[in-house]
Chains A and B, each alone.
Chain A
Amino acid sequence: MCMSIEKIVSVDPTRFKLNPDNTNDFRLTGFHCCACDIFVFGAATNCQKCTDGNVIPVDFSGDGVLYSYTLIKVPPAGWTGTTPYVLAEGELLEGPHVLAELVDTNPEELFIGMPLKVSYAVDESGKQAVAVYKWKLSD
């Protein structure tokens, strides 16, 4: 990364936050419902299950398992990364599912259930440097 961290913004602050003082400090974020004990990834004003408004912001562990995946060879409009790319659906340990690119991997060697962890990369294709969350295989 050639850009200073202060100038990098999150792709979506309701889903992903990056510590401006420490590039190794990043989290997927969401909410926990105190009434029915479920987690929601991203923005929520109320619980997705019981609709209770007593939800509190949480940082997720960032660990999960591979729920499903696909190697995309024809990308959608707006995709700025390389093609083909692996789109993975990871299931966080807390429950919610998260779609993101799975980087640094050989698609031939993937299988459902592999352990994953959250990472990120900086997209500099636009005027603003954007931190985009990614999946990586766990070490």
Chain B
Amino acid sequence: MEQIRTNRKVRVAGVGLHPFGRFRNKDISTMAREAVVESLRDAGIAWNRVQVGYFGHVYYEGMSIGERVLSPLGLTGIPIVNVENACSSGSTALWQAFWMINAGLYDVALVFGAEKVPSGPVTVTGADSPDRLIGGDHMMAGYALRMKRYITETGASEASIAQVAVKNRQHASMNPYAHRNEMYSLEEVLKSRVIADPLTLFQCCPTSEGAAAVVICADDVIDSLGVSRENSPEILASVLTSGDYNGNGSDHSAFSPYRTEPAALKAYEMANISPEDVDLIQVHDAATIGELQQLESLHIFNKGEAWIATEEGRTSLSGDRPTNTDGGLLAMGHPFGASGIRMIHETVLQLRKQAGARQIENAQIGVSQCSGAGDVTTVHILKA
């Protein structure tokens, strides 16, 4: 079904975030609920005004986990939907909520996501999959395969790609919610232990625990909710795509990571903006190479040139294309169900001018792009 724009505007009224990291003595429900309560408080919307809830998560924590997260807040009988779409689970939950409001079924939705990702290399298939014996199911190995192609086809050096990790750690040093906010030099990044050559440990996102939540609502009910329109950025576009046929079945080419480009072009069309209009970018930097490829697929930079822009500092907080301003997956960490919503959280803070030391000047339009296994891509565009 083609995604179309209707005339009903949707806004992000509130955001909440539980810190990302390791919280051995805290269960997923408690983390998620804290993010939810913060988002409701931030919006100034009472829980019993929420009409539908979407919960993004991946790892099995028992059935109907979203319902268990919310039940201590009071049983209101609203539909609560549990959403699994790999690393894009949180942003997929937002996509579903956005279109439900846009279509007129609901006025107020809660989108929340949480995860406790196990330590060690991330695999996509089940434990009895033949791919475990074949040795090909290794998320960072997939990024390493792409990195080899990118280096070969663009002339980028390993050091130029590793700069992404240095930059995102710098951003995270100003973010107390980040899993890793200590800074590293380029040499330290390159000399950290090899995971899948040429990717080193500090070029791979940590597997993390954490939670995020946003409350979204229709613009036409915002006054009756008593919510500040000024503090509620509009969602100009919400696009979700899954894998399309790409000729040779490779996800590891230099220029087509996770098919982001079709989703991005559709989102720009829906928002009626061009890539040049974007002030602020969050992309799926599960590995350093991922940030470069996603920026090119979003048409922020020409193909094969994002590594040059990174070397020139254009993607840092003071650059003209600030990217992953909260530290991204590389420093925030990656609790799958929460990551896509965490990107929206950061975008909203920036557009409200509430990002503190990380604040970008005059940010008006922000893009958030999140990828997931199954060649899933989500792209959201927000406007102050």
Q: Which of B121, B145, B152 contacts A74 (CB under 8 A)?
A: B121
Annotate A47-91 by CB proximity to B: 1 below 8 A, 0 otherwise.
011000000000000000001111111111111110001010101
Is A116 in contact with chain B by the CB < 8 A criterion?
no
* Cβ contact within 8 Å between A75 and B138: yes
For chain B, give the interface size range.
Answer: 35 or more
Count residues on chain A whose CB falls below 8 Å from chain B CBs. 38
Query: What is the chain A residue whose CB lies nearest that of B130?
Result: A12
Query: What is the chain A residue whose CB lies nearest that of B136?
Result: A99
Q: Which of A71, A78, A100 contacts B197 (CB under 8 A)?
A: A71
Annotate B226-251 by CB proximity to A: 1 below 8 A, 0 otherwise.
00000000000000000001011110
* Cβ contact within 8 Å between A99 and B134: yes
* Cβ contact within 8 Å between B250 and A67: yes
Q: Which of B129, B134, B196 contacts A72 (CB under 8 A)?
A: B196
Smallest Cβ distance from A72 to chain B, in angstroms? 5
A133 to B133, CA, bound (A): 10
* Cβ contact within 8 Å between A91 and B193: no
* Cβ contact within 8 Å between B196 and A69: no
Is A132 in contact with chain B by the CB < 8 A criterion?
yes
Q: A68-B146, A100-B134 are in contact. Are A74 and B195 (CB under 8 A)?
A: yes
CB within 8 Å of A: which B258-277 residues: none
Q: A78-B123, A95-B248 are in contact. Are A101 and B135 (CB under 8 A)?
A: yes
Is B148 in contact with chain A by the CB < 8 A criterion?
yes
Is B120 in contact with chain A by the CB < 8 A criterion?
yes
Smallest Cβ distance from B122 to chain A, in angstroms? 8
> How many residue pairs between the two chains, A and B, have CB atoms under 8 Å in the bound complex?
117
Smallest Cβ distance from B62 to chain A, in angstroms? 22
> What is A's interface to B at a CB cutoff of 8 Å?
11-12, 15, 40-41, 48-49, 67-81, 85, 87, 89, 91, 95-97, 99-101, 107, 112, 123, 130, 132-133
Q: Which residues of B contact A100 (CB under 8 A)?
A: 134-136
Listed by A's residue number, 25 A-B pairs whose Cβ atoms lie within 8 Å are A11-B133, A11-B134, A15-B130, A48-B245, A67-B252, A71-B197, A72-B195, A73-B197, A74-B140, A74-B194, A76-B135, A76-B141, A78-B137, A79-B132, A79-B133, A87-B135, A87-B141, A87-B196, A91-B250, A95-B247, A96-B248, A97-B249, A99-B134, A101-B135, A133-B134
> What is B's interface to A at a CB cutoff of 8 Å?
120-123, 127, 129-130, 132-138, 140-141, 144-146, 148-149, 152, 193-199, 245, 247-250, 252
Query: What is the chain A residue whose CB lies nearest that of B149?
Result: A68
Q: Which residues of A contact B148 (CB under 8 A)?
A: 68-70, 112
Q: A74-B195, A77-B120, A130-B133 are in contact. Are A68 and B252 (CB under 8 A)?
A: yes
- B122, B132, B133, B152: residue with the most chain A Cβ atoms closer than 10 Å: B133
Query: What is the chain B residue whose CB lies nearest that of A15?
Result: B130
Query: What is the chain A residue whose CB lies nearest that of B150?
Result: A68
Q: Which residues of A contact B245 (CB under 8 A)?
A: 48-49
Q: Which of A11, A78, A85, A87 contacts B145 (CB under 8 A)?
A: A87
Query: What is the chain B residue whose CB lies nearest that of A67?
Result: B250
- B140, B247, B248: residue with the most chain A Cβ atoms closer than 10 Å: B248
A107 to B148, CA, bound (A): 13
A96 to B246, CA, bound (A): 11
